[in-house]
Copies of this chain bind each other. A is one copy, B any other.
Amino acid sequence: MAASLQLRGAASGLWYWSHRPRWVAASLAAVCSRSMASKTPVGFIGLGNMGNPMAKNLMKHGYPLVIYDVFPDACKEFQEAGEQVVSSPADVAEKADRIITMLPTSINTVEVYSGANGILKKVKKGSLLIDSSTIDPAVSKELSKEVEKMGAVFMDAPVSGGVGAARSGNLTFMVGGVEDEFAAAQELLGCMGANVVYCGAVGTGQAAKICNNMLLAISMIGTAEAMNLGIRLGLDPKLLAKILNMSSGRCWSSDTYNPVPGVMDGVPSANNYEGGFGATLMAKDLGLAQDSATSTKSPVLLGSLAHQIYRMMCAKGYSKKDFSAVFQFLREEETF
Contacts and interface: CB of A to CB of B under 8 A. Distances in A.
A10, A207, A287: which has the most chain B beta carbons within 10 Å?
A: A207
A309 B298 contact: no
A290 interface: yes
Interface string A200-240: 11011001101111111011011101111110111110011
A315 B139 CA distance: 26
A184 interface: no
Nearest to A11: B246
A330 interface: yes
Contacts of A2: 248
A23 B309 CA distance: 35
A314 B336 CA distance: 8
Given A218-B219, A234-B207, A249-B219, A299 B244 contact: no
Contact of A239 (B22, B223, B304): B22
Interface string A303-318: 1111111011011100
Given A226-B215, A234-B203, A305-B305, A6 B248 contact: yes
B211 A240 contact: yes
Contact of A302 (B212, B215, B232, B302): B302
A73 interface: no
Contacts of A22: 236, 239
Contacts of A239: 22-23, 199-200
Given A240-B211, A249-B215, A291 B294 contact: yes
A182 interface: no
A310 to B, nearest CB: 10
A199 B305 contact: no
B211 A336 contact: no
Among A223, A228, A314, A333, chain B packs the most CB atoms within 10 A around the CB of: A333
Interface stretch (A26-34, A123-131, A251-259): A251-259
Contacts of A204: 233-235
Given A208-B235, A211-B235, A214-B226, 5 more contacts: A6-B248, A219-B222, A219-B251, A221-B302, A299-B308
Interface of A: 2-3, 6-7, 10-11, 14-15, 18, 22-23, 137, 160, 172, 174, 195, 197, 199-201, 203-204, 207-208, 210-216, 218-219, 221-223, 225-230, 232-236, 239-240, 242-254, 256-257, 280, 283, 287, 289-294, 296-309, 311-312, 314-316, 319, 330, 332-336
